[in-house]
Amino acid sequence: MRIKAMVASVPVALLLAVAVHARSVQQQPMEFDVHVAGHSASQMDAARYNVQADAVPVVTLPGLGQVQGTTSVTDQAKRTVFSYLGVPFGEAPVGELRFVAPVPKKPWEGVHDSTVPGKTCFQVELGTAAWPVDDGQQSEDCLVLDVHTPKVDPNAKLPVLVFIHGGNFYTGYAGQKPPTALLDSADIVLVSPQYRLGPLGFLNLQTEEVPGNAGLLDLVEALRWVNKNIQYFGGDPSRVTIAGHSAGAASASVLYLSHLTKDLIHGVLPMSGSALGFWAWDRTPEAAGNSITNVACLGKTAIADRVACLRAVPPKDLIRAYLMYAGISLLHGHLGMSGSIPSLQRAAIPDDKKVLLDLPENILSSDDLKALPYMTGVTKHEGTYPLELAEKFYLELNHLESNASFLRNDVVHVLLAVIGNDDPAGYVSDTSVQAYFDPTTLGDYQSMRDGLIDMLGAFGFKSAARRIVQRNSELGQPSYLYAFNHNGELTRKSPEGIFHGADQPYIFPMPKYPTLVGNDLEVSLALRKYVTNFVIYQNPTPDESPVEHSPTWKTFQRDHEDYMELVWPPTQKQWFQNELTVARRDQFNEGFGTSTAPTVAPTAAPTAASTAASTAASTAASTAASTASQSNTSSKTSRADNGNTSNSAAAAAPSLALALCLATLFARR
């Protein structure tokens, strides 16, 4: 009752903004990671499968038990795929197991029913409301995975793709990535694991009892399960590629850097997400952890009492406590994402219970990094979605679209401050203005809009992807980078353009999306084959499996930045940094970027604007990391706890709505 009473005291403006955002998410025509209102995840998933138990082999897992699966049929070739849904890999993380590393699943009696999806992990349900919704399908006993295979044969030794769902680390489930397209012609095994979400998965008090990163440790345990058991589904444990989209991509990127995954993964394929993204890593997690605990365990001050409370509090109340903290954080000009994303674990726990032993950027730069074949990419207009939110909740609300002085002098500095970039001298701001805007039109919002799209896309996704493949290639591993720039029927009329996640329906078509035909189908077939070729050969265009109408995909090299532009037909290009200013170059704001033709010659040298953009994004990232690193060694008193934000540039402007839009930047992941 206390939690509900406190929720009622949240400022009406904040609740209204969250509700408006939730409604806008529902109305997006190209939503990927949000449930359909009125239907549970399990109901939606079950409809895709034909339950014919007598026709599906029962798989025996030594030391665990037996599982009975079901079948599905692929879209084009009508190929039968054997699907084993909701296979448990971990014990229910309840009581003393809440917040800590998972315990491997114990043996069970009889045959486990894997003809229906497992229950989803407790999460924030943005698809129907801004608050948690229990549709009867959510549970803490959710550490399960789906296995899809064309051959249930222990001797098949097929390559394995472990695909991690997205959802901002607080929503999502295994069934969002169905096999009906990807396994249409490829002999691979697809595995989709679930992991703890939100504060149940990422709360970090830097203590032995609440050490953080439980959700990522779930994924490590899923990889261990794959290593031990995937052979019984026809998979080869020595040929495992880990992949994901958005938050799932960031997770895959973090696990690539982890000492815990040595010999468990052999290739990495993140899509629109990276461990280096400012949104993917919490630099000061204990501050948020203590604030969330203060709400969830009101009046508890002794450590033992707080831990006991956290272990017993109902999951929905803990999620509400996180949302309460997020609201307060937003009001003080911060992102409101802490407490629900990965972080560095500094508690006195064994190293085998820590996902990373250092910050991601430090591990990436280390000589000890074991590089692996790596393929990653981004969509053309990654920045349009956050900009749309900024327009709704910040610029329009505060009449700033017509405030020439603010647009000319402050908007870039405020954006950088909100994402954690301390830029007192204004160097990063000045460099960003040079990179993304025409100085003669500063102050005119419509003229600046394309630059804002580019800047948000570069800082959030593109530069981080480029940095990792650059480092990976330096270490001698094949590294591939793509830009998904195809503007097909799914995006042509969208004011968001080719937005974050626009590539996913081409790999994982869903019944609610239009049928792919013409060039859309050709792009889909090419992208699927790139993915499966990488899983099988660690090369998207090997001689053994050519992609029709595609040039050979060259590995990324720092001296000319080769990448594949995914249009139709696909085009091999150089100088990926040109993609950092693509909206401005295309004059996207003039007509939603309707052209599907390549806009830069395949070997065109980087433009002055793109070079400046590359410098700005890299400088912003390093400055933000340095700022956060310094804050880790300073006082652990949270500014969100004491309300001291006088030194924040964001606090100098009306920042609630801007912070909200950036905090919900990846609600579709």
The SS3 call for residue 338 is: coil
Please list, in sequence order, all residues whose beta carbon lies within 8 angstroms of the beta carbon of residue 319, skipping any fewer than 6 positions away: 122, 123, 124, 132, 170, 198, 199, 200
- Structure letter (DSSP) for residue 273: -
Range from 257-261, 381-385, 462-466, 652-656 carrying the lowest mean pLDDT: 652-656
Q: Which two tokens stand for residue 83?
A: 């699907």
Looking at the DSSP bridge assignments, the partners of residue 163 are 243
Cα–Cα distance, 479 to 617 (Å, whole number) = 21
| Region class of 167: left (phi > 0), else alpha (psi between -120 and 50), else beta | left
Does position 82 have pLDDT exceeding 80, yes or no?
yes
Sheet containing 189-193: order of strands: 70-73, 80-88, 144-149, 189-193, 158-164, 235-245, 267-271, 374-379, 479-484, 563-566, 571-573
Position 598 scores a pLDDT of 47
Range from 24-28, 306-310, 336-340, 408-412 carrying the lowest mean pLDDT: 24-28
Cα–Cα distance, 126 to 25 (Å, whole number) = 7
Does position 249 have pLDDT exceeding 90, yes or no?
yes
Cis status of the peptide bond prior to 569, with omega within 30 of 0: yes
Position 590 scores a pLDDT of 65
Task: Tell me the per-residue pLDDT of 212-226, one tens digit each, with 9 for 90 and over.
Answer: 999 999 999 999 999
CB 652 within 8 Å of CB 12:
no
Pairing of the two strands 479-484 and 374-379: parallel
CA distances from 426 to 413, 421, 662 (A): 7, 11, 21
Does position 609 have pLDDT exceeding 70, yes or no?
no
CB 659 within 8 Å of CB 333:
yes
Does position 575 have pLDDT exceeding 70, yes or no?
yes
CB 416 within 8 Å of CB 652:
no
Provide the whole-model pTM: 0.86
Structure confidence at residue 343 as a pLDDT band (50, 70, 90): very high
Looking at the DSSP bridge assignments, the partners of residue 158 are 235
Range from 30-44, 167-181, 250-264, 376-390 carrying the lowest mean pLDDT: 30-44
Q: Which of 116, 125, 97, 153 is nearest to 26 (CA)?
A: 125
Q: Does 568 or 591 have the greater pLDDT score? A: 568
Cα–Cα distance, 283 to 358 (Å, whole number) = 11
Phi, psi (deg, nearest 5) at residue 99: 80, -10
Structure confidence at residue 591 as a pLDDT band (50, 70, 90): low
Region 554-572 average pLDDT: 96
Q: Which of 221, 33, 198 is nearest to 145 (CA)?
A: 221
Position 12 scores a pLDDT of 35
121: Cα within 13 Å, side-chain hemisphere: 31
The SS3 call for residue 101 is: coil
Q: Which domains, from first to last, does the chain contain?
A: 58-282+338-370 (3.40.50.1820), 378-589 (3.40.50.1820)
Position 49 scores a pLDDT of 63
Task: Work out the mean pLDDT of the chain and round it to a whole number.
Answer: 83
Cβ burial, residue 339 (10 Å; 0-12/13-18/19+): buried
Structure confidence at residue 608 as a pLDDT band (50, 70, 90): low
Position 10 scores a pLDDT of 40
Cα–Cα distance, 279 to 281 (Å, whole number) = 6
Task: Tell me the per-residue pLDDT of 193-203, one tens digit each, with 9 for 90 and over.
Answer: 999 999 999 99
Does position 61 have pLDDT exceeding 70, yes or no?
yes
Rg of the chain in Å (alpha carbons): 23
Cα–Cα distance, 228 to 261 (Å, whole number) = 14
Structure confidence at residue 173 as a pLDDT band (50, 70, 90): very high
Q: Which of 289, 276, 296, 48 is nearest to 148 (CA)?
A: 48
CB 381 within 8 Å of CB 617:
no
Structure confidence at residue 422 as a pLDDT band (50, 70, 90): confident
CA dihedral (362, 368, 373, 374) in degrees, to 10, reads: 0
CB 323 within 8 Å of CB 360:
no
Structure confidence at residue 278 as a pLDDT band (50, 70, 90): confident
Position 6 scores a pLDDT of 42
Does position 97 have pLDDT exceeding 80, yes or no?
yes
The SS3 call for residue 202 is: helix
Identify the residue whose tokens are 């400088």. Answer: 619
Range from 451-460, 540-549, 648-657 carrying the lowest mean pLDDT: 648-657
Exposure pattern of 579-615 as b/e (b: 16+ CB <10 Å)? bbbbbbbbebbeebbeebeebbeeeeebbebbbbbbb
608-633 vs 463-474: helix crossing angle, rounded to 10: 90
Structure confidence at residue 624 as a pLDDT band (50, 70, 90): low
Does position 33 have pLDDT exceeding 80, yes or no?
no
The rounded percent of the chain whose pLDDT value lies above 70 is: 77
Identify the residue whose tokens are 């779930």. Answer: 218
Does position 53 have pLDDT exceeding 60, yes or no?
no
Exposure pattern of 456-486 as b/e (b: 16+ CB <10 Å)? bbbbbbbbbbbbbbbbbbeeebbbbbbbbbb
The rounded percent of the chain whose pLDDT value lies above 90 is: 65
Position 600 scores a pLDDT of 57
Cα–Cα distance, 359 to 621 (Å, whole number) = 13
